[in-house]
Structure 1
Amino acid sequence: MNILLKSVKILDPSNPGLHTKKRDILIKDGKIEKIAVKIDAENKITTIAKRNLHVSPGWFDGAVNFGEPGFEERETIANGLSTAAKSGFTDVVLNTGTNPVPDGSPDIAFLKNAGKGRATNLHPLGSLTVKSEGRDLAELYDMKNAGAIGFYDFKKPLSNGNLLKIALQYVQGFDGLVYSFPLDTQIAGKGNVNEGEVSTKLGLKGIPSLAEELQIVRDLFILEYTGGRLHIPTISTANSVKLISDAKRKGLNVSCSTAVHNLWHTDDTLKDFDSDYKTTPPLRNEKDIRALIKGVKDGTIDFVVTDHMPMNIERKKVEFDHAAYGTIGLESAFGALNSIFGAEATVDILTRGREYYALEKPEIKEGAMASISLFDPDETYIFAQEHINSTSKNSIFLNSELKGKVYGIINNGQLIF
């Protein structure tokens, strides 16, 4: 497909020669052929011209769930990747929250094959342990060779510290990336929201910040002993940011992420007992949000993820204590981040992270393959059901005022607009 983008504003901080400039961009057979102030349209070319159209290198989401296999009623891989494309993402990392979990090379091959031919690239994780049960390491080397870009027992903390030690030592032979979900289950107990004033008022069982931070301290001590690469996903507390910042200053090879909704909502939203606000880690308080935002800005938090987790209505519309965790987040991610950080910083945030998985970072330059996100950063709207493309509708951002409209992507020779 040949495409001409007319008078688009380029946001690409890594390319100072084009950053914030308005240009025409000609794309032929999936490659950027020409960038100029004015390019005349040719015959048989798709021309896109919209007021205030912006473009940037394609966005990256380091944590999504699609359900398939096993939970197709929540989301299929096909519709999940379509939703990601419409939300501006050219690359997504697929978590291991499926049934069965991907703990062998055939499982990774299935996921890679299911994502073939799509506009958005799918990069699967493999489970760290067999069946994600936390007892025996899975076939990490075989899964790496099959295309797994990291190893994670999705949302399941590894209680066996020795197993984490062995995993970090083992993967150094092939530069593998080990995930450890930050939660001490004994400290968390039966809690399901942030422990604090709100949980006390509502009579809900709380999860103290200590439950996250204690696990991080343990994991960082183990990493210091073993070496290797450790990723701590979706941190949520102010002290977690400090712990990881201190570890990085010591030279430890640790990375971390936080979820978009943990930058936006506090546990005050729980007052109506709406289970769409039930997430893991839980929504925290204003102090935590301020620290997380600062951590994103200064680079302590390496990248922000949607933590997109579709959940069928039967699992959400029940008593709060029995409701499933999770919220969808792809469709609302840009609008939320842009509202917090502004357009240029948001583009920087959404293009971070590929380096931790040895994925090529796209560029907007002549001769490069086109991997581009298209958006208008200035349109303000109330996020509603009509903006949801996911099969499941459990969005924590419903009725939130967001800033920034996404049009789609150009990637893998395809236009989703």
Structure 2
Amino acid sequence: MNILLKSAKIVSPENSALHLKKRDILIKKGTIEKIAASITEIPSSIKVFESKNLHVSIGWLDTGVCFGEPGHEERETIENGLLVAAKSGFTNVILNPNTTPIPDTSSDIVFLKERAKGNGTQLHPLGSLSKHAKGVDLAELFDMRKAGAVGFYDFKSQVANPNLLKIALLYTQSFNGLVFSFPEDKQIKGKGVVNEGAMSTSLGLKGIPGLAEELQISRDLFILEYTGGKLHIPTISTANSVKLIAAAKKKGLDVSCSVAVHNLLFTDDNLSDFDTSFKVSPPLRTKDDTKALLKGLKEGIVDFVTSDHIPLDIEEKRVELDNALPGTIGLESSFGSLLQVFDLEDTINLLTKGWERFNLAKPEIEVGKSACLTLFEPTEEWTFDEKAIFSTSKNSMFLNTPQKGRVLGTISNNIITL
């Protein structure tokens, strides 16, 4: 892989020497060979890439995506899912454990990593926290960690047994493991399908109160304070959740959390037409919650933004809202949506956070380093439509929404995706 990027504006706040400077970047065999104001001697074997208003940053990381393979290849294969991620600007993704079978052994993790080899985007799998994600017995956490699992998560499922979470947090300290706990109390949720409030009442739908999330987070934080260890709370959605996590961080607890892009941009008002595209877990909340989540990101209380990319078949969405599966795809729309609510530097900062938390080496834009770059144009305004969807499944709540900026591609793992 040999390529020369011409006049690329580098967005790298941690690198003051290059930040917001226009540079030519020469990459040979996957390694950054030269960075200069102008590179004029270009061998014929070097592909030259130029684009109006070309910007570049280190590769982006998504801390929570789903594909389908194994078990649901009709939703998305690993190979196509990684291509979607690359075209969407993501050079690395954390894969949620929601396949069939659920990855709860080291051999499952090895399978996922082997299937992902040879792609531009690198896949980092999560293993199930409990056997078969049943919440009864711990899975093979240490063996999965040795095989390459970057954390442990019963996907979108409450860790109902507090003792199981306690034991997991104690046990994983011996190998610096990261424990996930989905913030939802099933008993409080009951048969709820959307946020509990004026909209659920007007639609005649059973609601999920913010209490279901906040009660679970409160319990988990008490256990973390008792045990120590590393806890990650994925996809929070309420203002009170932000307050609870802020208080825990002030105490010095080792807790991180994420929010899905769609919970920053949409509210339960979008459900007024019973559109199942807007049914997600956790549910879309209120404008006050959205404001609190955005503020939490800006203040560093909320650590990461995730696409929470969940491909689903049309048959799983084209049913009554009560019966539809929750989830939306989001990789393709993440960048253009975030630029609607953040400036460019904040957006790139959010898209490049999380490496240390998952014990991954953070890329650098530096001569001699492996090229792990995302290329983008940050100012073009356009409307997201089905032509912009690369995923096999098309269940996107972002259809017909305004976007700002376009991803041009990635250079990673010695593969160019443009």
TM-score (norm 2): 0.99
Count of residues paired in the alignment? 417
Q: Please tell me the residue identity of whatever aligns with 1:176.
A: G
Q: CA deviation at 1:385?
A: 0.2
Residue in structure 2 matched with residue 320 of structure 1 by the alignment? 321
Residue in structure 2 matched with residue 377 of structure 1 by the alignment? 378
User: 1:213-260 CA deviation, whole Å, 9 max, x = no partner?
Assistant: 000000000000000000000000000001001000000000100000
Q: Please tell me the residue identity of whatever aligns with 1:49.
A: E
CA distance in 2, matches of 1:116, 1:335: 28
Instruction: Map 1:41-190 to 2 at 5 A.
Output: 41-190=42-191
User: 1:329-374 CA deviation, whole Å, 9 max, x = no partner?
Assistant: 0000000011110211100000001110110111111111100000
Q: Please tell me the residue identity of whatever aligns with 1:289.
A: T
Residue in structure 1 matched with residue 32 of structure 2 by the alignment? 32
Q: CA deviation at 1:129?
A: 0.3
CA distance in 1, matches of 2:405, 2:98: 30
CA distance in 2, matches of 1:377, 1:218: 41
Query: Secondary structure, in 3 states, of the residue corresponding to 2:45?
Result: coil
Q: Unaligned stretches of 5+ in structure 2?
A: none
CA distance in 1, matches of 2:170, 2:94: 24
Residue in structure 2 matched with residue 297 of structure 1 by the alignment? 298
Instruction: Map 1:231-310 to 2 at 5 A.
Output: 231-310=232-311
Residue in structure 1 matched with residue 343 of structure 2 by the alignment? 342
CA distance in 1, matches of 2:416, 2:47: 10
Does residue 205 of structure 2 align to residue 192 of structure 1?
no
Q: CA deviation at 1:193?
A: 0.4
CA distance in 2, matches of 1:27, 1:129: 43
Q: Please tell me the residue identity of whatever aligns with 2:9.
A: K
Query: Secondary structure, in 3 states, of the residue corresponding to 1:364?
Result: coil
Query: Secondary structure, in 3 states, of the residue corresponding to 1:93?
Result: strand
CA distance in 2, matches of 1:44, 1:148: 39
Q: CA deviation at 1:187?
A: 0.8
CA distance in 2, matches of 1:296, 1:117: 34
CA distance in 2, matches of 1:275, 1:408: 31
CA distance in 1, matches of 2:349, 2:16: 13
User: 1:255-308 CA deviation, whole Å, 9 max, x = no partner?
Assistant: 100000000101100011110100000000110011100111111111100000
Query: Secondary structure, in 3 states, of the residue corresponding to 1:314?
Result: helix
Residue in structure 2 matched with residue 410 of structure 1 by the alignment? 411
Residue in structure 2 matched with residue 17 of structure 1 by the alignment? 17
Q: CA deviation at 1:42?
A: 1.9
CA distance in 1, matches of 2:140, 2:82: 26
Superposed structure 1 runs of 4+ greater than 2 Å apart? none
Query: Secondary structure, in 3 states, of the residue corresponding to 2:6?
Result: strand
Q: Please tell me the residue identity of whatever aligns with 1:116.
A: K
Q: Please tell me the residue identity of whatever aligns with 1:327.
A: T
Instruction: Map 1:358-369 to 2 at 5 A.
Output: 358-369=359-370
Query: Secondary structure, in 3 states, of the residue corresponding to 2:132?
Result: helix
CA distance in 2, matches of 1:286, 1:363: 37
Instruction: Map 1:210-229 to 2 at 5 A.
Output: 210-229=211-230
Query: Secondary structure, in 3 states, of the residue corresponding to 1:341?
Result: coil
Identity among equivalent pairs (%): 62
CA distance in 2, matches of 1:90, 1:301: 22
Q: Unaligned stretches of 5+ in structure 1?
A: none
User: 1:55-83 CA deviation, whole Å, 9 max, x = no partner?
Assistant: 00000000000011001010000000000
RMSD (Å) for aligned C-alpha atoms: 0.5
Q: Please tell me the residue identity of whatever aligns with 2:321.
A: F
Query: Secondary structure, in 3 states, of the residue corresponding to 1:221?
Result: helix
Q: Please tell me the residue identity of whatever aligns with 2:4.
A: L
CA distance in 1, matches of 2:124, 2:333: 21
Residue in structure 2 matched with residue 2 of structure 1 by the alignment? 2
CA distance in 2, matches of 1:97, 1:403: 31
TM-score (norm 1): 0.99
Q: CA deviation at 1:46?
A: 0.6
User: 1:73-128 CA deviation, whole Å, 9 max, x = no partner?
Assistant: 10000000000000000000000011100000000000000111110000000000
User: 1:181-205 CA deviation, whole Å, 9 max, x = no partner?
Assistant: 0001111110010001111111111
CA distance in 2, matches of 1:394, 1:337: 19
Structure 1 range deviating more: 360-369 or 231-240: 360-369
CA distance in 1, matches of 2:84, 2:293: 27
CA distance in 1, matches of 2:348, 2:355: 14
CA distance in 1, matches of 2:32, 2:296: 35
